[in-house]
């Protein structure tokens, strides 16, 4: 009951126009920069440089929360290309991530495809890797199928898959012929019981199974987790099977477990921090809390575990 109430509260806050307007004016000053790379390119570049100086790479998450028309997608495509150019021009150690929703997935599949090709072509020319984020279950099949089509033509593209979904093991098997780079996450979205494993211990076991399988198949693996048990598991698999350091990376959100990030980088593991970028930072953060209200406690703890 409490969790559902919190989810409703944060979802409402995420779409409150007065709060969005206020956050865009003053949010970063109010502490948004702890969890978000910034609204503007110079803000994002500054934070990425700080991470790079610690031996930590980044994936710049090009935010896109409000897409109602084809014209809306133009802004988000331009924002992604701005991030790509920033990586090139400032010699940043980084890649980018984005939702297909932000480039028009729910408007028109072909529009999303064409926008992604524009982004991928620009990224290829700048030697930048692009990861497609996963979204709600309703978009899952469309995302996987678009990735399949794009991966057939582009080397510089990866996909996020969620361990909390029953379908993910099948999706992973389906994609094997493409030798895909996969980001494994536990899954932030609360889905219906017929598609969501909906049990933490079972999700954890599925996460381990998927990551190990992908590593042993020789494919690039992005282990996105803040969980010590998952981190230790990946480290053990890598050690036991002599997985080369250039076949995997750890990923964490900006503002989460800074000391652990530095520790993993110092141990010689590639450590990548997920840096949100764009004007929709407030809505992104509220949605994170709405998706999993338990993140509230984890977020507070992280601020004391830097």
Q: What is the pLDDT of residue 301?
A: 46
pLDDT, position 289: 63
The answer to whether residues 185 and 226 touch, using CB atoms and an 8 Å cutoff, is no
Predicted TM-score (pTM) of the model is 0.86
The CATH number given to whatever domain includes residue 153 is: 3.20.20.220
How confident is the model over 190-249, as pLDDT tens digits?
788 889 998 899 999 999 999 999 999 999 999 999 999 999 999 999 999 999 999 999
Residue 211 in domain: no
| Residue 284 within a domain | yes
Q: Is the residue at 288 inside a domain? A: yes
Distance in angstroms (rounded) separating the CA atoms of residues 223 and 213: 12
pLDDT in tens, 258-279: 999 999 999 999 999 999 998 8
Q: What is the phi/psi pair of residue 26, to 5°?
A: -130, 0
Q: Tell whether the model's pLDDT for residue 23 goes beyond 80.
A: no
Does some domain include residue 221? no
- Which of 63-77, 125-139, 275-289 is predicted least confidently? 275-289
**Has residue 302 got a pLDDT over 80?**
no
Residue ranges making up the domain that contains 108: 2-157+247-303
CA distance 35 to 215: 30
């Amino acid at each position: 009951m409490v969790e559902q109430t919190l989810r409703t509260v944060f979802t409402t806050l995420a779409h409150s126009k007065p709060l969005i307007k206020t956050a865009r004016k003053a949010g970063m000053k109010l502490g948004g920069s702890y969890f978000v790379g910034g609204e503007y390119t110079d803000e994002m570049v500054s934070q990425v440089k700080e991470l790079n100086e610690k031996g930590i790479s980044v994936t710049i998450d090009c935010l896109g929360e409000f897409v109602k028309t084809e014209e809306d997608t133009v802004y988000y495509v331009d924002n992604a290309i701005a991030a790509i150019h920033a990586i090139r021009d400032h010699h940043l150690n980084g890649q980018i991530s984005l939702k297909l929703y932000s480039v028009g997935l729910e408007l028109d599949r072909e529009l999303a495809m064409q926008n992604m090709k524009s982004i991928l072509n620009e990224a290829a020319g700048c030697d930048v890797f692009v990861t497609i984020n996963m979204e709600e279950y309703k978009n899952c099949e469309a995302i996987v199928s678009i990735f399949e089509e794009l991966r057939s033509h582009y080397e510089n593209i990866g996909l996020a898959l969620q361990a909390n979904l029953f379908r993910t093991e099948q999706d992973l098997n389906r994609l094997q012929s493409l030798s895909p780079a996969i980001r494994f996450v536990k899954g932030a979205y609360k889905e219906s019981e017929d598609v969501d494993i909906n049990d933490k211990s079972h999700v954890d076991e599925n996460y381990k199974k998927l990551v190990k399988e992908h590593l042993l198949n020789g494919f690039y693996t992005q282990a996105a987790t803040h969980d010590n048990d998952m981190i230790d598991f990946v480290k053990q698999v890598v050690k036991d099977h002599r997985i080369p350091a250039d076949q995997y990376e750890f990923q964490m959100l900006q503002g989460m477990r800074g000391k652990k990030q530095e520790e993993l980088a110092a141990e010689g593991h590639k450590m990548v921090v997920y840096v949100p970028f764009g004007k929709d930072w407030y809505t992104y953060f509220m949605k994170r809390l709405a998706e999993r209200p338990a993140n509230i406690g984890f977020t507070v703890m992280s601020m004391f575990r830097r």
